[in-house]
């Protein structure tokens, strides 16, 4: 992030934002106004293993769709800034008894491979961030079959999540925006080509098979439903 551009953006933002609690305006991952609200990050790795080296009928996926308390670069109407998700920012949303969040491919709603409402997906927060656990992916599902070889080949290695910013605040110098509370109900967690937070991590494994954790990514969008990458 160019310090001069960052300083100019912060000065313009400080003059243009009414209150520090205002959400980022036109939030995106690059200077181009048409860019997505998903920040590109360095690649990370995943693994996929058979239950007993011969049976891959059930696959176990775990990952971090967001890592908390670590900054990543985003852009808004005024220019670049650093965004941070606070620890515990999703607690209220995740506590909903009717929580409805699918695990999808590239934020495409129809490409669902697990979902909280049918017990195939669990979301929780720990000291690292937003933990995604889908223990029984059906390997014969078209989308699971599609993504599995790409994960093995390390062609796909990041995650993100779609959510709504409920509360946040700019730093006094307007160079950093901290998300203090988000709502993920009817958003999603996604396996993506590019994510937003370069510090997230996760793993893919077959059910009942232990594997190592792997680094993934994160995503968000503007003040409506967001995709952090």
pTM: 0.79
User: What pLDDT, on the 0 to 100 scale, is given for residue 66?
Assistant: 86
User: Where exactly are the structural domains of the chain?
Assistant: 3-228
Looking at the predicted structure, is the pLDDT value of residue 218 above 70?
Answer: no
Which carries the bigger pLDDT value, residue 22 or residue 53?
22
Question: What average pLDDT does the chain have?
Answer: 80
**What b/e readout covers 123-158, taking b as 16+ CB neighbours within 10 angstroms?**
bebeebbbbbbbbbbebebebbeebbebbeeeebbb
Task: State yes or no: pLDDT of 49 exceeds 70.
Answer: no
Which of 48-57, 66-75, 111-120, 185-194 tops mean pLDDT? Answer: 111-120
Task: Please give the pLDDT value at position 149.
Answer: 85
Position 44 pLDDT exceeds 70: no
Range with the poorest average pLDDT among 30-39, 49-58, 99-108, 112-121: 49-58
By the 10 Å C-beta count (0-12 exposed, 13-18 middle, 19+ buried), 198 is classed as: buried
15 phi and psi angles, rounded to 5 deg: -80, -25
């Amino acid at each position: 992030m160019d310090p001069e551009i960052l300083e100019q953006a912060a000065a313009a933002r400080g003059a243009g934002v009414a209150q520090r609690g205002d959400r980022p305006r036109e939030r995106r991952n690059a200077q181009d106004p048409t860019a997505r609200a998903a920040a590109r990050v360095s690649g990370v790795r995943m693994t996929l293993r058979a239950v007993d080296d011969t049976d891959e009928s059930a696959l176990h996926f775990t990952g971090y769709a967001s890592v908390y308390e670590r900054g990543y670069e985003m852009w808004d109407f005024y220019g670049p800034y650093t965004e941070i998700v606070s620890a515990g920012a999703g607690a209220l949303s995740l506590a909903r008894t009717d929580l409805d969040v699918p695990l999808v491919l590239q934020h495409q709603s129809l490409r669902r491979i697990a979902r909280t409402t049918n017990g195939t997906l669990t979301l929780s927060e720990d000291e690292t961030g937003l933990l995604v656990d889908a223990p029984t992916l059906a390997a014969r599902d078209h989308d699971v079959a599609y993504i599995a070889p790409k994960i093995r080949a390390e062609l796909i290695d990041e995650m993100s999540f779609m959510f709504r910013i409920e509360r946040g605040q700019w730093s006094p110098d307007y160079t950093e925006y901290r998300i203090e509370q988000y709502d993920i109900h009817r958003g999603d967690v996604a396996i993506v080509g590019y994510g937003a937070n370069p510090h997230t991590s996760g793993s893919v494994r077959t059910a009942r098979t232990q594997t190592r954790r792997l680094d993934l990514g994160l995503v968000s969008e503007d003040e409506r439903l967001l995709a952090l990458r």
